[in-house]
Every structure is written in structure tokens, then in C-alpha cells.
Amino acid sequence: MYDIKEIIQELIERKDMESEEIPGIYLYMDQLLSLFEENFPYNYGEAKLTKTMINNYAKGGIIQPAYKKKYNKEHVLMILVTCMLKRELSLSEIKELVDESVEKVDNFNEKAVKKNKKSDKPVDKNSEKLEEDKESSLKLESISDKDSESIKLEIEEIYDRFINRKEVLGEIIDNNLDSVLKSLKEDKIVSNNNKLLDVMILCYCSNILSEAARAIIRSEKDD
């Protein structure tokens, strides 16, 4: 017997790679692949990141070319986001999103190199409380309506906002999961006794969210 609640809770609790875990130095291909091997939360049976995939992302314009065969933090974050999005979207859809939403950083100038070196400095232990306050502030900011207009942001800011919003969403789902599943069972929408039926319902929900995401990508085209 399977338990839908337990499955959902385990998925919510999966830890995503955070931007602070990404080295602020340039990585060679084997180091980059090792980073994902050790830290990326692959789905069950999901193909793991390969050199060919990374080269295809660069050829497709989703990420910028490597800098002297090395990859900086912006590269890693863009690959990270691509690995997450390609579970539901095509590479062409991802590129469209990147072009519209990401403020590109020039990986070939001295400013970008200095920025990566600077981000690799150790965190001051005495500032931990300030960082906690900042995280709380980011959570509140992330669910406000002030940033509702489409703007370009650097990929690190986008990813950090995603992590904060994901944590808030996880708490909301977890706090309401019992009542939602109870209603679904009372209305005989899910039963926990026929796998095909329950899987069809869950896939239906997944498809609605995926198509909603695609509708957002198409929104300005259709106007």
C-alpha cells in the first residue's frame, strides 16, 4: 500500500542546492559534474547531467560559453535552473525564458572574474543573525506584489528568490496537506487503493501546472 501524503512530504523535504554551496571559483567540467552528482536532487530515474548536455545548453544559447574551458557561478546557476526546468519544458522554451528574464553577466571580462573571486570569501560568523534577518525579509519580499512586473534580474538573485518562495510554498502545502487529502478522499477523487486511477489524477494536476507555465511563456506572444 502506498501513502500519497508520505510521498508528497518526502518530495517537499528534498533539499535543493543553494547558491551558497556553489564555489565562487571557476570549475572545470569534471568538477562541475561532480558538484551536481553530489548536490543536485535528481528525480527517481532521471538522467544525470553530462558533458554533452552542458555543451548543448551552450550551443542552444541557454548558458554562455565556458571561460577558458572553465565555468563560473553564473554558469553553474544557469545549468542548475535548466536541469530543473527541462523536467517540464523544452530547451527552446527555457531559452525564451532566459532571454526575457535573466540579466546576462559577461563571463569574459575582468569584472566577472573579480565578482566570482569576491563571492568565495568566507562568511563572518558574527553576521549570522543579520543573515537570518535578511532571509526572513526576503521571504516576505518574495511573496509581495511589488515585483509583479516582468523585469530582468541576475540569475543568482532569481535562484535565491526561488529557494525562499519554495520554502514558503512547502510550509503552506505541509500545513494544509491533511485537510486537502481528507477532502479528496471524502469526495473519492483519490483512493489509495488503485494506482492507475490515483496516478492519472496526479498527472492531471501536474499537466495543469505545466500548461499554466507554458501559457505564461506564451503570454506576450498571444497579445
Which CATH class for the 4-109+187-220 domain?
Answer: mainly alpha
The model's pLDDT over 37-65, given as tens digits with 9 standing for 90+, comes to 999 999 999 999 999 999 999 999 999 99
Number of residues that make up the chain: 223
The model's pLDDT over 84-126, given as tens digits with 9 standing for 90+, comes to 999 999 999 999 999 999 997 665 544 444 454 444 444 444 4
CA angle 106, 31, 71 (to 5 degrees): 5
Nearest to 158 by CA among 99, 212, 77, 72: 77
Nearest to 54 by CA among 25, 81, 79, 84: 79
Q: What's this model's pTM, rounded to 2 decimal places? A: 0.78
